[in-house]
């Protein structure tokens, strides 16, 4: 089976050169690097212009989640399809270095991905998210579960605080969790998860889930986000979703 780069060359140019699966995957991994670099650059500019950390954080959060849209470009006939996790792997190492060793509050990544320009914050949510991406990219590559989990954590959890900040009037809080809003939970997590599942499945070429399954997945994600302890939502939400899908397979019908 020809890789995405070979198909691109043959369909849109006069070149008939066949790219090997190895080089196809190397090129595709570099494309993901360029994409995430662009997201980080836009996030940094947004942080400087608006002087609002949470907007840049959530832009990077949701933009990074959309990295799975590049999955179909990789050729699974060669083991190098695992290079799809090149970006989260490098970012994970970078976050550990900047959060635990460099410790510079004026660093671009610290200002873009933290709430209060504290380097140590990179070792919580952002690092958890990169570890999640590495796990998804190797264990749930091109699967329905992978699409569902990224929709819940990447889109649903990304939209919730933005909607909650602007429109959240009905506040609530569970023990050990941060304060949430009904508006953020419903319009952000629930609808974001449902919409994300639909879009990701379509873009990845996966089969559509039933409306009932998407609604149930959205409800589970909303509940998980609501009770997630402290700064552990980037670990707690995927765990709850994975446990639910594993024990109730009908969620993927």
Residue 156's nearest CA partner among 194, 191, 189, 187 is 189
Instruction: Decide: 115 and 161 in contact? Cβ < 8 Å.
Output: no
Backbone angles phi, psi at 251, to 5 degrees: -65, -20
Over residues 133-160, the pLDDT tens digits come to: 999 999 999 999 999 999 999 999 999 9
Instruction: Return the bridge partners of 172, or none.
Output: 180
Instruction: Return the bridge partners of 181, or none.
Output: 171
Q: What is the pLDDT of residue 207?
A: 93
Classify residue 205 by burial, with Cβ atoms within 10 Å: 0-12, 13-18, 19+: exposed
Q: What is the pLDDT of residue 159?
A: 92
Residue that is written with structure tokens 């304060």 in the block:
179
Q: What is the pLDDT of residue 18?
A: 77
Listed as ranges, residues in the chain with pLDDT below 50 are: 1
Residue that is written with structure tokens 């832009």 in the block:
59
What b/e readout covers 182-193, taking b as 16+ CB neighbours within 10 angstroms? ebbbbbbbbbbb
Sign of CA dihedral 168, 36, 127, 247: positive
Q: What is the pLDDT of residue 13?
A: 56
The CA distance from 42 to 3, in Å, is: 30
What is the distance of C-alpha 194 from the center of its chain?
15
In DSSP notation, 78-145 reads SGGGGGGGHHHHHHHHHHHIIIIII--TT-HHHHHH-SSS-GGGGGTHHHHHHHHHHHHHHHSTTSHH
Q: What is the pLDDT of residue 176?
A: 83
Query: Would you give the DSSP letter of residue 188?
Result: I
């Amino acid at each position: 089976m020809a890789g995405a780069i070979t198909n691109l060359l043959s369909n849109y140019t006069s070149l008939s050169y066949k790219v090997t699966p190895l080089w196809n995957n190397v090129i595709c991994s570099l494309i993901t690097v360029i994409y995430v670099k662009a997201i980080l650059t836009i996030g940094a500019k947004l942080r400087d212009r608006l002087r609002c950390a949470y907007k840049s954080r959530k832009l990077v959060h949701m933009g990074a989640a959309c990295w799975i849209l590049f999955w179909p470009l990789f050729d699974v006939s060669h083991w190098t399809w695992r290079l799809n996790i090149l970006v989260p792997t490098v970012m994970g190492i970078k976050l550990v270095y900047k959060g635990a060793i460099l410790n510079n509050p004026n660093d671009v990544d610290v200002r873009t991905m933290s709430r209060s320009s504290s380097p140590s914050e990179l070792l919580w949510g952002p690092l958890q998210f990169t570890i999640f991406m590495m796990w998804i990219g190797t264990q749930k590559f091109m699967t329905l579960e992978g699409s569902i989990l990224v929709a819940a954590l990447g889109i649903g959890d990304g939209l919730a605080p933005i909607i909650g900040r602007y429109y959240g009037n009905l506040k609530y809080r569970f023990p050990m969790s941060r304060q949430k809003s009904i508006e953020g939970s419903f319009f952000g997590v629930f609808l974001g998860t449902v919409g994300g599942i639909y879009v990701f499945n379509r873009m990845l070429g996966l089969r559509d889930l039933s409306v009932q399954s998407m609604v149930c997945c959205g409800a589970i994600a909303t509940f998980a986000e609501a009770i997630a302890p402290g700064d552990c939502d980037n670990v707690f939400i995927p765990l709850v979703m994975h446990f639910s899908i594993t024990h109730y397979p009908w969620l993927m019908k």
